[in-house]
Amino acid sequence: EVQLVESGGGLVQPGGSLRLSCVASGFTFSGYWMSWLRQGSGKGLEWVANIKQDGSEKYYVDSVRGRFTISRDNAKSSLYLQMNSLRAEDTAVYYCARGKGYFDPWGQGTLVTVSS
């Protein structure tokens, strides 16, 4: 069974940092682009970043570029999102997902709350 499990969410103050992790199983992780997406409370969905199979290409939505860094460790079948200079508007459930264009499947999500 293809599965993605996120962790690392929590409460952080504005300006703080957090690192999210996503462990994949049930498929050859190194063979796929991977992505992070988020969903604010009562809000819609937003693509955040994606990364090529070997990590050589990375893309970000404008609102996080320069503050967030996506990375991966194929030996550990793991995806990461380093989030710095966090703002209140970054508060959301963060999902990892397999894919570059469309996303299938998604993990269950991890909640990030940015508040003082």
Partner 1 sequence: EIVLTQSPGTLSLSPGERATLSCRASQSVSSSYLAWYQQKPGQAPRLLIYGASSRATGIPDRFSGSGSATDFTLTISRLEPEDFAVYYCQQYSNSRTFGQGTKVEIK
What is the sign of the dihedral through the CA atoms of 82, 30, 4 and 49?
positive
Residue with smaller CB distance to partner 1, 13 or 57: 57
Residue 69's alpha-carbon distances to 26, 35, 61, 74, 104, in angstroms, are 25, 12, 11, 16, 22
Q: Which stretch binds partner 1 (CB under 8 A): 9-17, 40-48, 71-79, 82-90?
A: 40-48
Read off the tokens for 31: 């063979």
CB atoms within 10 A of CB 81: 25
Residue with smaller CB distance to partner 1, 45 or 88: 45
Does 9 help bind partner 1 (rule: CB under 8 A)? Answer: no
Site string for partner 1, 96-115 (x = CB under 8 A): ----xxxxxxxxxx------
Q: Which residues inside 53-72 make contact with partner 1, applying CB under 8 A?
A: 61
Residue 55's alpha-carbon distances to 73, 78, 87, in angstroms, are 9, 12, 26
Does 47 help bind partner 1 (rule: CB under 8 A)? Answer: yes
Count of positions (residues) in the chain: 116
Does 44 help bind partner 1 (rule: CB under 8 A)? Answer: yes
Residue with smaller CB distance to partner 1, 44 or 75: 44
Tell me which residues touch partner 1 (CB under 8 A). 44-47, 61, 95, 100-109
